[in-house]
Amino acid sequence: MKPAVISCKNQSDIQRKNKLYKQLLEHWQLYVMVLPALIYLIIFAYKPMYGVIIAFKDYSMRKGILGSDWVGFINFTRLFSSYWFPIILKNTVTISLLSLIVGFPAPILLALMVNEIKSEKIKRTFQTVSYAPHFISTVVIVGMIVEFSSVDGIFNDIRATFGLDRIPLMAKKEYFRTLYVGSGIWQGLGWGSIIYLAALSGVSPTLYDVADIDGANRWQKMIHITWPAIKPTTTILLILNLGGILGVGFQKILLMYNTNVMEVADVISTYVYREGIQGARFEYTTAIGLFISAISFVFVYSANLISRKVSENSLW
């Protein structure tokens, strides 16, 4: 019995090998096509991953990544004992959680409301308008924020009508987060609703008709038909968002912050940019990046685990 099995396995091995040779000969073009992208990925995606090991080294440009001396976890302990670490960590988490708490449910609510519009034409017009801010660059968005919150800007005009005095909002610590999160919602609200509307477009209209016959009102239909349809999408996006909690983008903050609001505005990624690129502390900031990635991975992993247990929806 045994030899037969082995020969069988060998045969399939040979067959596989033959298939490979045949393909390489006949369809060599396919391999040529994949080659540029593979080389690209090795250089621009895998080499930086390999470069992460400088987090454990005393990096010197002259010696290169491999030649530099190992220093263990010094770069990490340096981070944890840094004066700035608690501040930037707190700011990052605060800004993220605010964005998440206000910004995450908003597109879901919007999608539910858009879904209740009967006229296709009005629906489309509204979507055209609400997606527009997504296509505007960060520089323009921050330019608008700066203009609108200047002393003679529109936000202060509004304050003035309520009898409040005009203040430079961009220079006030207590308004930075509101401006950051608010402008983020303005820009991302409509766009964020697309994915939910896509999920809703898959709901069969007969479900609603049947519910009508059963005498369900609109609220009941929303709770029992519409919401279950977008629940899996919601769960998955929430898991992904939890993974991004420490990854507050630096582009907008880099343009928005100034010495007056630094205390509340400086986040991990802007700190990495300043210390790493401007201050040339490469190994130290690489260590920060690695630390953030590790934490984010733990977040996504545990959020996924909990979600799989609780709701059967999960990323993997």
Partner 1 sequence: MRYKRSAGSTVFDVLNYFFMILLSIAMLYPFLHVLSLSLSDPKLITRGRVSWYPQGVNVEGYKIILGSSQLWTGYRNTIIYAGLGTLLTLVFTSLMAYPLSIRDFVGRKFVTIFLTITMFFSGGMIPTYLLIKKLKLINTIWVMVLPGCISAYNVIVFRSFFQGISGELRESAYLDGANDIVILFKIILPLSKALLATFGLFTIVGHWNAWFPALMYLNKDSMYPVQMVLRRILFVSSASETSDLAAMRIAQKQVHSKNIQMATIIVTIIPILCIYPFIQKHFAKGVLVGSLKG
Restricting to residues 241-270, which ones interact with partner 1 according to CB under 8 A?
251, 254-255, 258, 269
Q: Which is nearer to partner 1, 6 or 45 (CB)?
A: 45
Helices H / strands E in the chain, number of each: 18, 2
Query: In this complex, which beta carbon is closest to partner 1, that of residue 7 or of residue 259?
Result: 259
Provide the minimum distance between the beta carbon of 285 and partner 1 in the complex, in angstroms, as a whole number.
5
The strand pairing partners of 70, in sequence order, are: 57
18 binds partner 1 (CB under 8 A): no
Q: Rounded distance, CA 98 to CA 110, Å?
A: 18
Q: What are 249's two structure tokens? A: 């983008």
Piece in contact with partner 1 (CB under 8 A), picked from 7-15, 79-87, 94-102, 148-156: 148-156
Binders of partner 1 among residues 154 to 193 (CB under 8 A) are 154, 157, 186, 189-190
- Side-chain half-sphere CA neighbours of 164 within 13 A: 11
Smaller CB separation from partner 1, 81 or 201: 201
Q: How many residues bind partner 1 (CB under 8 A)?
A: 84
Among the listed residues 148, 103, 44, 99, the one whose alpha carbon sits nearest the alpha carbon of residue 249 = 99
Site for partner 1 in 48-67 (CB under 8 A): 48-52, 54
3-state helix, strand, coil split of the chain in percent (to 5) is 80, 0, 20
Q: Which is nearer to partner 1, 7 or 201 (CB)?
A: 201
User: Which among 134, 89, 99, 107 is positioned nearest to 193, based on CA atoms?
Assistant: 107
The residue to which tokens 């009967």 are assigned: 118
Segment near partner 1 (CB under 8 A); pick from 30-38, 67-75, 96-104, 304-312: 30-38
Pick the stretch among 75-83, 88-96, 284-292, 304-312 that binds partner 1 (CB under 8 A): 284-292
Question: Least distance (Å) from partner 1 to the CB of residue 100?
Answer: 21
191 near 134, Cβ under 8 Å?
yes
Among positions 64-123, residues that touch partner 1 (CB under 8 A) are: 110, 113-114, 116-117, 122
Binders in 203-242 for partner 1, by CB under 8 A: 212, 217-218
Calculate Rg over the CA atoms of the chain: 27
